[in-house]
Amino acid sequence: MFEVVKAPLGWSVFADNIKIGGVYDSRGAALEAAVLAASYTVSDGGGVQINVPGAAEEKPRWAVAFEIASAILPTKSGRERGGSSR
């Protein structure tokens, strides 16, 4: 199985949980690299599956967790935090 995964500086490709290739600028470029690698597996008679995240899954997991926590936790107004009320 080949997976395109969001990396800190771009996109990476993993084959059976092992990183292959470099870091790609876009999801599409990483997909092209995964397809090329997968074509060798197909040529050798193997089957392949390629997973690419959708737009909603592009955010790193920490960003998603932060958004969820921000939505759940109550917020304080400026006055409650000690700010001015002008």
Q: What does the pLDDT look like over 52-85, one tens digit per residue?
A: 988 766 666 666 677 777 778 776 655 555 555 5
- Per the structure, the complete domain to which residue 30 belongs is given by 2-72
18 assigned to some structural domain: yes
15 assigned to some structural domain: yes
Please give the residue that has the higher pLDDT: either 45 or 75: 45
66 assigned to some structural domain: yes
35 assigned to some structural domain: yes
Q: Residue 51's pLDDT is what?
A: 93
86 assigned to some structural domain: no
81 assigned to some structural domain: no
Using 50, 70 and 90 to split pLDDT, how confident is the model at 21? confident
Q: Residue 84's pLDDT is what?
A: 55
Q: Do 23 and 12 meet the contact criterion of CB atoms below 8 Å apart?
A: yes
46 assigned to some structural domain: yes
30 assigned to some structural domain: yes
Q: Tell me how many domains the chain contains.
A: 1
Nearest to 52 by CA among 24, 74, 78, 75: 24
Task: Give the range among 13-17, 22-26, 52-56, 66-70 with minimum mean pLDDT.
Answer: 66-70
Distant-in-sequence, close-in-space partners of 76: CB < 8 Å, separation ≥ 6: none
pTM: 0.62
Tell me the C-alpha distance between 41 and 27, whole Å.
21
